[in-house]
Structure 1
Amino acid sequence: MQATKVKALLEEKMPGSEVIVEGEGCDFRLTVINDVFQGAFPVKRQQIVYAHLNPYIASGEIHAVTMTTLTFSEWNQKANQG
């Protein structure tokens, strides 16, 4: 699977998201920014993203995913730190 396809998929399924995808083939590093994560614990945030990726993981198109999930406020704070 192409990184551009993963990005498009998540941005379509999670409107208002900004998705940064690194990697290729079946191993991806994701940064998903969306205010839907507000107030959610890290595991819940990952579950929200995995809900859209699970069919591709099950088929083997995606093998490994590492993700960072942030709200836009958290993203802006992180960007300003560094």
Structure 2
Amino acid sequence: MQLQTQLEALVQQLSPSHLEILNESSGHGGYFPGKESHFKITIVSDAFQGLRLVQRHQKVYGLVGDLLAPSKIHALAIHAYTQDEWTGERPDSPDCAHAPKHTSN
């Protein structure tokens, strides 16, 4: 099973009203087609009600922790919102210093 599919299945336990998981691996060094190492999750759930940002991240890490290993997911960006906070937009990820360099001809 692909890592992205496993990640999605695990965070479903939070009953999200919105869930977006982006595989951002192609923007990082060592990328090859099919690589799954860097992900960004945008999740909206009532499970985050009353929790500080660090507590929200801990809740997500508690569910997906087994996938965070050198041979699996290297980096996970989490954007966790309650329904009241969700504006329909998530922040862009910064460029990676080790991203493949594209040259123009």
Q: Once the 2 structures are TM-superposed, how far is the Cα of residue 60 of structure 1 from its aligned partner?
A: 2.9
Instruction: Tell me the number of residue pairs that the alignment of Structure 1 and Structure 2 aligns.
Output: 76
Greater C-alpha radius of gyration: 2
Q: Is 1:44 equivalent to 2:55 in the alignment? A: yes
Q: Whose helix proportion is higher, 1 or 2?
A: 1
Q: For the residues of structure 2 that align with 1:74 and 1:10, how far apart are their CA atoms?
A: 19
Q: CA RMSD in A?
A: 2.0
* Cα distance in 1 between the residues matched to 2:67 and 2:57: 15
Q: Deviations over 1:46-78 (max 9, x none)?
A: 000000111111363111001100011111xx1
List gaps (5 residues or longer) in structure 2. Answer: 26-35, 90-105
Report the TM-score, using the length of structure 1 for normalisation.
Answer: 0.78
> Unaligned 5+ residue runs, structure 1?
none
How much identity, in percent, do the aligned residues show?
28
Deviation at 1:4, TM superposition (A): 3.3
Q: What corresponds to 2:41 in structure 1?
A: 30
List structure 1 segments (4+ residues) > 6 angstroms apart after TM superposition: none
Using the size of structure 2 for normalisation, the TM-score is: 0.63
Question: Which has the larger share of strand?
Answer: 1
